[in-house]
Chain A
Amino acid sequence: MPYSAPLAGWGRYPVRDCTVWQPTTAQALHETLGPLPVSIARGNGRSYGDASLNPEATIDMRRLDRLIAFDDATGAMECEAGVLLSDLVAAFVPRGWFPPVTPGTRMVTIGGMIASDVHGKNHHVAGSFCDHVDWFDLDLGDGRVLRCSRTENPDLFAATCGGMGLTGIVVRAAFRMLRIETAFMRQRTIRVGNLDQALSVFEQSHGSTYSVAWIDCMATGRHLGRSAILLGEHARVDELDERRRAAPLARPVRKPKTVPIDFPGFALSGFNVKMFNHLYYAMQRPGDEVVDIDPYFYPLDALFEWNRIYGRRGFVQYQSVLPLAESETGMRRLLEAISAAGAGSFLAVLKRMGPQSFGMLSFPMEGYTLALDFPATPGNLQLLERLDAITADHGGRVYLTKDARVSAQMFAAGYPRLQEFRNLRAQYGLDQRFSSLLSQRLGL
């Protein structure tokens, strides 16, 4: 039975009343989709904007959360689409396996990771999540459930990877987990004083499995782009001290703290954000250390409902990527626009990405990506329009998973395979059966 509930993405902007179905089996899902004119799947609601909202019919996938098979010799995992990454991490890190690609939160479903073709700090070497997916079963909503892979229905496979749930509903998927020896990371912190140095460190760090920079987006002038770059490797057993070596895969469980209230708007005043950025930069001690795997990959998961820091009106996350050749000038212009507006975010992240993936609407491209979040105020929304213009000028694109407000025109300019995607949707009749507020906004 469906019910009605106000739903939002992680940014809590926009919020809409949606009719929600929560099937508990693949068969129930199939029977739910049959009579529905149009719908969209929703995983754990961690995309930031309107991608998982359809007021007429939103399919909550979290009850399709069963593991189906796991091969401890090869790491081959088969599971339903609503399985949470956090459950995989909890169950399999102690057995020496880690997801091949992980976004900055583990509170996402496998289906959501495919729909967003998520990337992690290892994109430059490992590609995005769908590069590790062997196949999935896709319910087209018209009675057909098709196995999709690089060889079977490859067109649907390429459209669904990064396709924002608009090509049907992934029911179950198979992918490869990554062998790890320990539940620890070797981390190297490098502080750099400006953007040029940051880019140059990234270009010299292709050999590092994981790399990411936290960037002080309030710094200006000759400090523009000053950053703390974090390089990481899965630690081997022989790299641990004696105490940790006794239980190399033990994963200390910390009870997450919860942000208890919606912060008032003034908590995010320019002054506070500037101080935070200043202190955070100062706290990043250069050098090498061994750290736990959880805080390394998921620092914000330690704070439940951290989105409440941005108050009741919600926030928007902005993430764009620029092609390599344009990155230096483009990133400089983006950072100048942000610092000039004085609208910095607590955590701005810069990362070198590897080659474009096979997904038609997959976000990553070879170059640099910048991600930041802002309270959803009128002034900030205007700033984002300027950031769009700069991104477009340099041949970049915005990440739909983070987006709640980009224009159809801006979106189309960044995704050269959009027409191919639209054609495929029309060919399979998917444009009539799957839509979200995001697809309606962008004319997908």
Chain B
Amino acid sequence: MLASPVLILGARSDIGRALAKGYAAQGCEVILAARGDISADATDLALRSQAKVRSVSFDVTDGKPDAFFDALGVVPGTIVMVAGLLGDQAESAAHDEAAQKVMDSNYNGPSRYLLAAARRMASVPDACIIGISSVAGERGRASNFVYGSAKAGFTAFLSGLRNAHAKTGLHVMTVKPGFVRTQMTAGMKLSPVMTAEPEQVADAIIKAQGRKADVIYTLGRWRLVMAIIRAIPEPIFKKLSL
């Protein structure tokens, strides 16, 4: 059961767009939330799907989650937190401001928004909060540990939120997509076997919501790969360049 309306936080991203199309195709009412004006995307989606769609302005780092939800005028049945920022590890290592932005966009902001959401959604039937976290959060690596550690925090947050609401109606799902062919990864040389299309990720999420899954890797093979990476002893791991 997919509870409407579905609020997509970070609707301008490729995964956000694919999710919006997916939910609209299922007949859900959809609210697109992104920085700036995203009304053209809402018009597009409404024309394509004939679903009810509207757009709101949203900035995950603004520190005003309660004001956002109060202004929304409705309590969502489903929330997907897609917002996030890969950033640049070298820049984060060199500049405090860059590091803070990555941490705020991937941990502080998303977690505070979802706390505010959970306060409102606990009594909504079939309510569901979905957080897009990352396989990068499973072990810190030299190449992206500022992003990875923020995602690790977000993963732990989602698991705790799920635990806290195990006895209310609110379901919490963690998604670890692995590589996805998006704007964020455009031009990167990604293994085709390990890389999903945004539409695949969206399909997997919507299906998993239906069966109330707790944690999903949208490509199952990532579960195995990450199990191996987690199992490497730290003295060896620290010498690898991953």
* Residues of A that sit less than 8 Å from B by CB: 1-5, 20, 22, 24-25, 63, 65-70, 87, 91, 95
**Which residues 15-46 of B sit at the A interface, judged by CB distance below 8 A?**
40-41, 43-44
Instruction: Check if B48 is an interface residue, CB within 8 A of chain A.
Output: yes
A69 cross-chain contacts in B, Cβ below 8 A: 43, 47
- Smallest CB gap from B46: residue in A: A67
Q: How far is the CB of A99 from chain B (nearest CB, A)?
A: 15
Is there contact, CB below 8 Å, between A68 and B186? Answer: no
Closest to A95 in B: B50
B contact residues around A67 at 8 Å (CB): 43-44, 47-48
* Contact indicator B186/A3 (Cβ below 8 Å): yes
Chain A residues near B188 (CB-CB < 8 A): 3
B144 in the interface (beta carbon within 8 A): no
> When the two chains form their complex, are residues A20 and B48 in contact, meaning their CB atoms are under 8 A apart?
no
Q: Does B187 sit at the interface, judged by CB under 8 A?
A: yes
- Total count of chain B residues near the partner, CB < 8 A: 13
B48 touches A91 (CB 8 A): yes
> Would B44 and A3 count as touching, CB distance under 8 A?
no
Q: Evaluate contact between A68 and B44: CB separation under 8 angstroms.
A: yes
B21 to chain A, nearest CB (A): 9
Please tell me if the beta carbons of A68 and B40 are within 8 angstroms of each other in the complex: yes
> How distant is A106 from chain B, measured CB to nearest CB, in Å?
15
- Chain B residues with CB under 8 A of A1: 186
Cβ B43 vs Cβ A22 within 8 A: no
Q: Are B43 and A4 within 8 A (Cβ)?
A: no
CB atoms of A70 and B187 under 8 A apart:
no
- Across the interface, do B47 and A70 meet the contact criterion of CB distance under 8 Å? yes
A22 touches B47 (CB 8 A): no
Known: A67-B48, A87-B48, A91-B48. A3 touches B43 (CB 8 A): no
> Across the interface, which residues of A come within 8 angstroms of B40, CB to CB?
25, 66, 68
21 chain-A/chain-B pairs, Cβ below 8 angstroms = A1-B186, A2-B187, A3-B187, A5-B187, A22-B186, A24-B12, A24-B183, A25-B40, A65-B44, A66-B41, A67-B43, A67-B44, A67-B47, A67-B48, A68-B47, A69-B43, A69-B47, A70-B47, A91-B47, A91-B48, A91-B49
Chain A residues near B41 (CB-CB < 8 A): 66
Docked Cα-Cα span, A322 to B223, in Å, equals: 59
Which of B12, B49, B50, B186 gathers the greatest number of chain A CB atoms within 10 Å?
B186
Residues of B near A25 (CB, < 8 A) are: 40
Beyond known contacts A5-B187, A68-B43: 19 more, CB 8 A cutoff? A1-B186, A3-B187, A3-B188, A20-B186, A22-B183, A24-B12, A25-B40, A63-B183, A66-B40, A66-B41, A67-B43, A68-B40, A68-B44, A68-B47, A69-B43, A69-B47, A87-B48, A91-B47, A95-B50
| Nearest-neighbor residue (CB-CB) of A87 within chain B | B48
Q: How far is the CA of A24 from the CA of B16 in the complex (A)?
A: 14
Q: What distance in Å separates the Cβ of A95 from its nearest Cβ neighbour in chain B?
A: 8
Min CB distance, A176 to chain B, in Å? 16
A-chain residues with CB within 8 Å of residue B186 when the two chains form the complex: 1, 3, 20, 22
Q: Which residues of the partner chain A approach B50 to less than 8 Å between Cβ atoms?
A: 95
Residue ID in chain A nearest B12 by CB atoms: A24
A111 to chain B, nearest CB (A): 16
Contacts of B47 in A (CB 8 A): 67-70, 91
